[in-house]
């Protein structure tokens, strides 16, 4: 397909920013055009120009949602980067249990769940290492703005390449079942995670106060003001002793001074500073 005109490219960048706060610029023009070509083909558009004409006619319809979803990055894997999950296992969850003897309730939110590997990794970690927590006392909410990947996540079906990325073989054999050439998570594990649609720059769905929040590899796509707005809402969602995990290249420094960084062996998490 012929490339976008500058006016059309600027229109796409503006639409995506208004709908998702994702910042696109000229350095990503090839990426934008290649992803738009797929959307154009799905909708029977003969050219990118025809696609943009359709967007201009109905800027808030299903087509614009497809364009925004196409611009999201859904890179994920089981136990991605490993160290945050080790921190959960060795430090964060044990400390949480120590503060709440008896039958503790644990509320976890994965705020950019993509196709589900991250929240399912947490569910598997809890099942493997914390059997003393009744399953009914664990609630994992997983959200994303991309409705297509959320549907895949609900099904819990992954191909061989996806299960080979980060998932221990012992967990594959214990918690997955063959589904044709793919693998599907057992139903009891799938039921541990509740998937919802959520656009972080729009009003959030009702989320209970959380003990652990994974907001990893999300803030890097936003400008400074959007980051401040999201972190302010995060603070109101966290319990006083909650742990916030960001991506390895992300920080709250110079964005929101109400957080403090808690270093661990090979990673770190953030918590809201206690009032003095």
Active-site positions? Answer: 35, 144
Q: Cα–Cα distances in Å, from 155 out to 115, 147, 190, 192, 194? A: 9, 13, 8, 13, 12
Q: How many CB atoms lie within 10 A of CB 209?
A: 12
Q: Cα–Cα distances in Å, from 52 out to 2, 65, 180? A: 13, 13, 39
Give φ, ψ of 167 to 5 degrees.
-90, 120
Say if CB 156 and CB 116 are below 8 A apart.
yes
- Alpha-carbon gap, residue 138 to 126, rounded angstroms: 9
Give the ranges where 58-146 is alpha helix by DSSP (H). Answer: 62-71, 83-87, 93-99, 117-129
Say if CB 156 and CB 189 are below 8 A apart.
yes
Q: Cα–Cα distances in Å, from 229 out to 165, 202, 222? A: 33, 11, 10
């Amino acid at each position: 397909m012929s490339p976008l005109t500058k006016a059309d490219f600027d229109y796409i960048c503006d639409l995506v920013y208004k709908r998702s706060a994702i910042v696109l610029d000229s350095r990503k023009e090839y990426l934008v055009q290649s992803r738009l070509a797929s959307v154009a083909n799905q909708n029977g558009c003969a050219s990118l120009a025809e696609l943009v004409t359709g967007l201009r006619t109905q800027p808030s319809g299903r087509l614009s949602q497809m364009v925004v979803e196409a611009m999201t990055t859904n890179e994920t894997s089981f136990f991605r980067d490993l160290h945050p999950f080790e921190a959960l296992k060795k430090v964060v969850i044990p400390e949480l249990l120590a503060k709440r003897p008896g039958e503790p309730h644990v509320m976890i939110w994965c705020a950019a769940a993509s196709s589900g590997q991250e929240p399912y990794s947490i569910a598997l970690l809890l099942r493997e290492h914390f059997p003393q927590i009744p399953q009914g006392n664990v609630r994992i909410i997983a959200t994303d703005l991309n409705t297509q990947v959320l549907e895949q996540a609900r099904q819990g079906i992954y191909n061989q390449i996806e299960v080979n990325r980060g998932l221990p073989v012992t967990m594959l054999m214990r918690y997955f079942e063959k589904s044709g050439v793919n693998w599907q998570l057992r139903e009891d594990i799938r039921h541990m995670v509740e998937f919802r649609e959520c656009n972080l720059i729009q009003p959030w769905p009702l989320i209970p106060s959380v003990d652990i929040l994974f907001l990893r590899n999300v803030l890097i796509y936003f400008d400074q003001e959007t980051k401040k707005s999201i972190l302010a809402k995060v603070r109101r969602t966290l319990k006083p002793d909650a742990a916030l995990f960001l991506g390895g290249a992300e920080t709250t420094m110079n964005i929101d001074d109400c957080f403090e960084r808690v270093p661990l062996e090979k990673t770190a998490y953030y918590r809201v500073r206690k009032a003095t």
